[in-house]
Structure 1
């Protein structure tokens, strides 16, 4: 069952042809966690705000739990949509205790029911004894959980999170991501999250939608969007990769760094791009018919070394290839090395 349906949604701000969001359609299943990612100006935040009711679309339709909240000459006010919102800066009231912050949207409950609900929320976020504290007495991660509890307290149909991890130190992010995902899944809350950070998106999501210029380029599971990108842009967006322009035959691809043999079958002639992640190369002996390159740069990352190789292509041009090697593998600047891609990890993209 779909908790949210967006159909042909569009929004312009300054000119009729200047789309912030253009003809976007997607569904979110009940209990699913979908993340919207994209560069600044891609339309992800505008899309989130239209779902919340903070921006009015130019056209299209938004349905929440079978209720049309926008479309067919209907616009439902934000407070009537049953949507919970966690803002980028958390927006906790500094003069109110944690208990009163969480209970802010529970005025429809009686005093006893309200106290029970607040305590349930404090237990849920693992801060049971914090009800009399104030926001300034909490860490960033604790403030984040309180903001989440406040949004969940009224039992919303959909939870919206706007850049929830952007104010956290890198050392805190992983734990807070895990905490938030566990809370969301425990409450079976349908959630849409906006972020520009692909690490956050891959770690927390069930599915990811990548936006560019107001349109969805790909919406897919976290694994598929990383391992089966539909365009070179998608491949590049989700981590460092080597993009090769290939001319295909039934034997493989002719590329800037030489011929890469692949069993792609008949009727595959034409152009494609190949995306090969740095992890998906192996060092081989000279006799193993590998790709020859010269090490130009090495960056140490602890559990791996990232090396940049200069690959001559026979046309007085050079292609820079990035590979990752194990820390114990001995390589040095100006070394001549031979590498091969792991064939089953090569992503062939026909655009």
Structure 2
């Protein structure tokens, strides 16, 4: 179990991490979502023991993880951080990059473990390639394989999906899901795209200007975001002020400037309902995303599989009262 207790870090006059506490149990995945500059990479460095905290501490299985100023070599042997840039050795093969992590073990075990990791990470066909000959997905999988080669207690990943195309993103997501359960590793990754976090994480956290403003199961964080920022960081969201709720047939006893979140999939087309006009239609493959105008102040995004909607079409919307979630 890796535990962070009220971590804080300031650079000059910028508070990068502000009193963050969280726990990483073995065999579980935590995904942290935040915009650029929200403190994601700084937090990873603190958790990995690669950066000294101004206050607070990190502990692994009840023992404090020292910062770089307290040890000869920065970092912790049971905590592995995979950087966004992969940091592979450029002039040796992908297999040799992985083997380097277990170089102090017996030759027989080295071969066994490297073969096992190549199979797990689906790199057998390209194991002889140099990093410059490998795709982004292959380099990312190699970096992960190297990081877990010694079976660390904790795996930390910095934006593991950011440079990947859709097929490789899916492959890396599946890989993380499988290896965390198989190796019983505690895993935390940071990302600016909530899609990946929501799909595989056991818990999702929202980082904003160094604060961990929300942490919980993916379904709860998605359906009940705490702020408008949290709502937007976790997916498409209609943010509506209380004064405009009556136009949607909804009552509100809140202050007129109070904000509410309504997810696109919670708005349905119906035979009778709230009149609206289609202003835009976006094809998303399995469905269409539609922008509908209720009045000059209210435009809503909704999802539908209907194929007969065009710009200017008159439609009727139906919204359940309990679908609207109040934001702080």
TM-score by length of 1: 0.84
- Counterpart pick for 2:78 among 82, 85, 89: 82
* Pair 1:277-2:273 in alignment: no
* Pair 1:335-2:313 in alignment: yes
- Counterpart pick for 2:9 among 11, 15, 21: 11
Count of matched residue pairs = 325
- Counterpart pick for 1:319 among 281, 284, 298: 298
What is the CA distance between 1:280 and its match in structure 2? Answer: 1.6
Correspondences of 1:130-209 after superposition (within 5 Å): 130-209=126-205
Determine which structure has more spread, i.e. the larger CA radius of gyration: 1
* Pair 1:349-2:319 in alignment: no
Correspondences of 1:191-340 after superposition (within 5 Å): 191-246=187-242, 255=245, 257-260=247-250, 269-271=253-255, 272-285=258-271, 288=272, 290-312=273-295, 317-328=296-307, 330-340=308-318
**Contact 2:173/2:200 (CA < 8 Å) preserved in 1?**
yes
**Contact 1:20/1:46 (CA < 8 Å) preserved in 2?**
yes
Distance 1:27 1:331, change over 3 A: same
Distance 1:173 1:40, change over 3 A: same
* Structure 2 unaligned spans of 5+: none
Once residues 99 and 153 of structure 1 are traced to their aligned partners in structure 2, the CA distance between those partners, rounded to angstroms, is 12
TM-score by length of 2: 0.90
Which residue is equivalent to 2:20? 24
TM-superposition CA deviations, 1:295-336 (whole Å, max 9, x none): 222223333222222222xxxx532122222233x3332233
Distance 1:279 1:106, change over 3 A: same
- Counterpart pick for 2:92 among 70, 84, 96: 96
Once residues 299 and 131 of structure 1 are traced to their aligned partners in structure 2, the CA distance between those partners, rounded to angstroms, is 41
**Contact 1:11/1:57 (CA < 8 Å) preserved in 2?**
yes
Once residues 293 and 103 of structure 1 are traced to their aligned partners in structure 2, the CA distance between those partners, rounded to angstroms, is 61
Once residues 51 and 75 of structure 1 are traced to their aligned partners in structure 2, the CA distance between those partners, rounded to angstroms, is 15
Distance 1:20 1:76, change over 3 A: farther
SS at match of 1:257: helix
Which residue is equivalent to 1:265? none
* Structure 1 unaligned spans of 5+: 248-253, 263-268
Distance 1:75 1:212, change over 3 A: farther
Once residues 77 and 4 of structure 1 are traced to their aligned partners in structure 2, the CA distance between those partners, rounded to angstroms, is 20
CA RMSD of the aligned region, Å?
Answer: 2.4
With CA pairs under 8 Å and 6+ residues apart, which has the higher RCO, 1 or 2? 2
Distance 1:229 1:75, change over 3 A: farther
**Contact 2:204/2:216 (CA < 8 Å) preserved in 1?**
yes
**Contact 1:89/1:167 (CA < 8 Å) preserved in 2?**
no
Correspondences of 1:100-139 after superposition (within 5 Å): 100-128=96-124, 130-139=126-135
